[in-house]
Amino acid sequence: MAHMGDLNTYFGNEDLKVRFLDHFCSCFDDGMPRKMVLEVNSNNDDMISIIRDLQSAGIQFV
């Protein structure tokens, strides 16, 4: 089941969110392009918030 909300509501703590994003990025830091399907059960604002968090952590969307 997808989370309802964004990463701020999921983690409830900025430090935890930043650490998650750092570790998430390091899992895929090999220069290989990948497909990612984001599933959010709330609204577009939460989806945009998650995308912005991922971009701020270094994830690139093409």
User: Which pLDDT score is estimated for 56?
Assistant: 96
Tell me the three-class secondary structure of the chain, residue by residue: CCCCCCHHHHHCCHHHHHHHHHHHHHHCCCCCCCCCCCCCCCCHHHHHHHHHHHHHCCCCCC
62 band by pLDDT with thresholds 50, 70 and 90 = confident
Q: What is the mean pLDDT of the chain?
A: 91
List pLDDT tens digits, range 10-51.
Answer: 999 999 999 999 999 999 889 899 998 888 889 999 999 999
Domain boundaries, the chain: 7-56
User: Which pLDDT score is estimated for 1?
Assistant: 58
